């Protein structure tokens, strides 16, 4: 058996439009990092989305 | 062939949990730094001295609340974080030539407690009437979903795979994070009233924008890259993610075959050690020069002590 572990590629078939209503985070946005980086980016994105939807960020 | 017991031992927790007494002892070693470098080093900035203090005073629920309010994936991070370069690497005790506080194990102690007791620490916020779509039920998407739900937004998560959790469920080495723990952590988040649609591949973000007020894209990195050399499609050649996913979703069976692994840093450890844990007669990490004479030399060699695959 030969296992290829030469890095991962992004899901290219999904087009992400440049739209203020679209936010990104995690491996697809940081090129691949740890769980904790993905969680941190998800939390930050939630704050940005909440603010974008008119909510108050503490 | 390995026995079932030997296989289970090879895939057992690489860092077993602390007992209650050991956790109390460890928590009381913390200096509770005012300018806590561990908190600064953590990408989610968990208030580490605060959660350790709560463990020291026997308040495991409060401790878990401190952890999970900053990091919705506190359970899996306690098991799979590279803490030696993050919180524990920043611990001031390192500078006194002492062992750093076992922050990851303490975090696991507190978060395991709420998972075992099925305590609900968070509740959905007052409905705002806004709808958000999340594409990808990995740590990024679900962390975003949890906080949006707590803020009162209606959240729908789309996931292509049959199970949620992303690489937490399908791609983290089992001796670090078991799929059932990853799924329990996810369930805790989904229970806040998040609509989860698994087995659904989103093909157009623009279509979602017609239905939702905002979209979060956290699709991760898909397939492993291709080498682009002849023979890559032959049976017996498999990419690391597919290999690990197969192991995590199928009953383990011992193999007595040689395994060769073409390494990069991210999947190297688990990809080289797993064939050994499964009793392959060998697992090796050929250097670039061994695979193709035409490949340019990087002028770098894998350190000798790292060549042994069974670590």
A49: closest chain B residue by CA: B214
pLDDT at B23: 98
CB atoms within 10 A of CB B290: 12
pLDDT of B253 reads: 61
Cβ of residue B100 closer than 8 Å to a chain A Cβ:
no
**HSE-CB of A56 using CA atoms within 13 angstroms:** 1
What residues in A contact B155, CB-CB < 8 Å?
Answer: none
- What mean pLDDT comes out for the span B224-242? 87
Measure the CA–CA gap between B56 and B288, rounded to whole angstroms: 50
| Residue contact B224–A16, C-beta within 8 A | no
Q: Stretch B74-93: mean pLDDT, rounded?
A: 97
B25 has a chain A CB within 8 A of its CB? no
Distance from the A48 Cα atom to the nearest Cα atom in chain B, whole angstroms: 10
pLDDT, tens digit, for every residue of B124-144? 999 999 999 999 999 999 999
Q: Say which of A2, A21, A31 has its CB closest to residue B237.
A: A2
Report the C-alpha gap between B154 and B114 in whole angstroms: 25
Two structure tokens written together for B292: 């193709």
B175-185 tens-digit pLDDT: 899 899 999 99
Q: Residue for token digits 């936010």?
A: A23
SS3 at position B189: helix
3-state secondary structure B140-152: HHHHHHHHHHHCC
Contact B205 A8 (CB under 8 A): no
- What is the complex's ipTM, to 2 decimals? 0.95
Mark which residues 105-124 of B lie under 8 Å from A by CB: none
Residues 6 or more apart whose CB falls under 8 angstroms from that of B234 comprise none
Q: Is B187 exposed, middle or buried (0-12, 13-18, 19+ CB in 10 A)?
A: middle
> To the nearest whole angstrom, how far is the Cα of B43 from the nearest Cα of chain A?
6
What residues pair up with B258 in beta bridges, in sequence order?
Answer: B282
């Amino acid at each position: 058996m030969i296992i290829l572990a030469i890095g991962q590629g992004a899901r290219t078939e999904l087009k992400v439009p440049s739209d203020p209503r679209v936010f990104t985070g995690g491996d697809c946005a940081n090129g691949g990092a740890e769980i904790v980086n993905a969680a941190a980016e998800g939390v930050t994105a939630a704050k940005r989305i909440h603010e974008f939807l008119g909510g108050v960020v503490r | 062939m390995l026995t079932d017991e030997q296989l289970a031992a090879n895939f057992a927790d690489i860092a077993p949990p602390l007992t209650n007494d050991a956790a109390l002892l460890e928590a009381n070693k913390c200096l509770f730094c005012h300018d806590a470098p561990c908190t600064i080093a953590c990408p989610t900035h968990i208030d580490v001295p605060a959660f350790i203090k709560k463990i020291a005073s026997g308040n495991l629920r409060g401790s878990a609340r401190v952890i999970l309010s900053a990091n919705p994936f506190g359970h899996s991070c306690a098991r799979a974080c590279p803490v030696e370069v993050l919180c524990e690497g920043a611990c001031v005790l390192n500078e006194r030539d002492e062992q750093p506080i076992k922050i990851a194990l303490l975090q696991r102690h507190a978060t395991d407690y709420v998972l075992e007791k099925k305590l609900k620490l968070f509740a959905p916020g007052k409905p705002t009437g806004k709808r958000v779509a999340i594409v990808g039920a990995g740590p990024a998407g679900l962390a975003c979903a949890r906080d949006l739900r707590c803020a009162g937004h209606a959240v729908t998560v789309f996931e292509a795979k049959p199970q949620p959790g992303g690489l937490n469920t399908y791609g983290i080495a089992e001796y670090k994070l078991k799929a059932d723990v990853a799924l329990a952590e996810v369930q805790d988040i989904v229970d806040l009233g998040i609509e989860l649609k698994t087995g659904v591949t989103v093909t157009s973000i623009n279509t979602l924008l017609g239905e939702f007020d905002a979209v979060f894209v956290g699709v991760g990195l898909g397939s492993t890259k291709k080498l682009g050399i002849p023979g890559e499609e032959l049976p017996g050649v498999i990419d690391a993610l597919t290999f690990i996913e197969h192991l995590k979703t199928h009953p383990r069976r011992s193999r007595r075959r040689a395994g060769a692994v073409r390494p990069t840093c991210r999947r190297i450890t688990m990809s080289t050690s797993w064939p050994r844990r499964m009793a392959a007669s060998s697992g090796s990490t050929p250097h670039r020069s061994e695979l193709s004479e035409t490949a340019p030399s990087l002028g770098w060699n894998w350190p000798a002590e790292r060549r042994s695959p069974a670590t």
